[in-house]
């Protein structure tokens, strides 16, 4: 039997609808959630991501402010903008769209965002909170992956989870979240030897690499839950994940499509974090 498709688009829409109700209540109390998005340079993909984020704000009633800078922007200009947003009581989330132009030190810019407004969960204080298991903002993509697993009722305790990819924004945080849920987690990366042998042991397999067709049917344990975070643009313009969807679908128990899987969940979690920040501020 082919895998159950986890419909991230539908789940994200349901989540946004719930959030819209809370936004209405907060707005009525004078605490309308506000998200500021900083976009520097002219990266076409970044522009699409930012557009989706602003659209999700509009749909849920969150106030959004888009601050655009040319590719020649200086670090000082970005830091000044962040300082202003950190101090602005009506701004509950500050998001810096990556990548930044090459003359900018990304770490310094991300570190300047107030951890209390770091709705992307990229600040080292929030990453540290994740390691320590204390409250903090969880990065949106890993948070979205966990929501999908929870929604499908996938048991994690004592299960084997394999995460392919070890980036700070996806692979590492999602591994820590799976560990928090008592899964036994293995993290694979470009230097891993015997990838297929390891992935075949996974009850839950998360692919976050950025290489189309990396995960094929022979690498998947029958009945496993396969979460495809990857987003790859093929030469013909088609968007695909890291997983050979057609092949793996015949083996896995659950699978997320690309597009329509993790992507929409990422945006919904951004709204969720912004609403949470406004809720915390409202007291």
Site of interaction with ligand NDP (CB under 6 A): 141, 164-167, 169-171, 188-192, 195, 208-211, 214, 229-232, 262-263, 266
Q: Is 211 in the active site? A: no
The smaller minimum CB distance to ligand NDP, of residues 24 and 168, is found at 168
The smaller minimum CB distance to ligand NDP, of residues 164 and 251, is found at 164
The smaller minimum CB distance to ligand NDP, of residues 112 and 265, is found at 265
Shortest Å distance, C-beta 122 to ligand NDP: 11
Shortest Å distance, C-beta 209 to ligand NDP: 4
**Residue count (the chain):** 283
The smaller minimum CB distance to ligand NDP, of residues 104 and 262, is found at 262
Instruction: Name the active-site residue from 4, 24, 42, 53.
Output: 53
Shortest Å distance, C-beta 211 to ligand NDP: 6
Three-class HEC string of the chain: CCCEECCHHHHHHHHHHHHHHHHHHHHHCCCCCEEEEEEECCCHHHHHHHHHHHHHHHHHCCEEEEEEECCCCCHHHHHHHHHHHHHCCCCCEEEECCCCCCCCCHHHHHHHCCHHHCCCCCCHHHHHHHHHCCCCCCCHHHHHHHHHHHHCCCCCCCCEEEEECCCCCCHHHHHHHHHHCCCEEEEECCCCCCHHHHHCCCCEEEECCCCCCCECHHHCCCCCEEEECCCEECCCCCEECCECHHHHHCCCCEECCCCCCHHHHHHHHHHHHHHHHHHHHHC
Q: Is 53 in the active site? A: yes
Ramachandran category for residue 120: left, alpha or beta (phi over 0 → left; psi -120 to 50 → alpha): alpha
Shortest Å distance, C-beta 111 to ligand NDP: 18
The smaller minimum CB distance to ligand NDP, of residues 81 and 93, is found at 93
The smaller minimum CB distance to ligand NDP, of residues 157 and 191, is found at 191
Place of tokens 């470009």: 190
User: CA 233 to CA 210: how far, in whole Å?
Assistant: 9
Shortest Å distance, C-beta 243 to ligand NDP: 11
Shortest Å distance, C-beta 152 to ligand NDP: 17
Q: Going by C-beta distance under 8 Å and a sequence separation of 6 or more, which residues neighbour residue 146?
A: 138, 174, 177, 178, 181
Instruction: Name the active-site residue from 118, 120, 242, 244.
Output: 120
Q: Could you tell me the end-to-end alpha-carbon distance of the chain, in angstroms, rounded to an integer?
A: 49
Instruction: Name the active-site residue from 97, 117, 118, 172.
Output: 97
Q: Is 120 in the active site? A: yes
Question: Which residues are designated catalytic?
Answer: 53, 97, 120
């Amino acid at each position: 039997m082919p895998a159950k498709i986890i419909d991230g688009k539908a789940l994200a829409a349901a989540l946004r609808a719930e959030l819209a109700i809370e936004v209405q209540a907060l707005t009525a109390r004078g605490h309308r959630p506000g998200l500021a998005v900083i976009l520097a340079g002219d990266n076409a993909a970044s522009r699409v991501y930012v557009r989706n984020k602003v659209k999700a704000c509009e749909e849920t009633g969150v106030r959004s402010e888009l601050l655009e800078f040319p590719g020649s922007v200086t670090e000082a200009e970005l830091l000044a903008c962040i300082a202003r947003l950190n101090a602005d009581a009506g701004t509950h989330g500050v998001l810096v769209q990556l990548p930044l132009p090459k003359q900018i030190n990304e770490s310094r810019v991300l570190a300047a965002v107030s951890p209390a407004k770091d709705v992307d969960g990229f600040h080292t204080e929030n990453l540290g909170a994740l390691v320590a298991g204390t409250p903090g903002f969880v990065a949106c993509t890993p948070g979205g992956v966990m929501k999908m697993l929870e929604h499908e009722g996938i048991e994690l305790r004592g299960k084997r989870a394999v995460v392919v990819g070890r980036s700070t924004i996806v692979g590492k945080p999602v591994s820590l979240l799976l560990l928090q849920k008592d899964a036994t987690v293995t993290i694979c990366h470009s230097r891993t030897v015997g990838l297929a042998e390891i992935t075949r042991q996974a009850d839950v397999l998360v692919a976050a690499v950025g290489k189309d067709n990396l995960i094929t049917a022979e690498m998947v344990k029958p009945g496993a839950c396969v979460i495809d975070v990857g987003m790859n643009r093929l030469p013909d313009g088609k968007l695909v994940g890291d997983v050979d969807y057609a092949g793996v679908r015949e083996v896995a128990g659950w699978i997320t499509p690309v597009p329509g899987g993790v992507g929409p969940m990422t945006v919904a979690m951004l709204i969720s974090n912004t609403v949470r920040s406004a809720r915390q501020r409202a007291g």
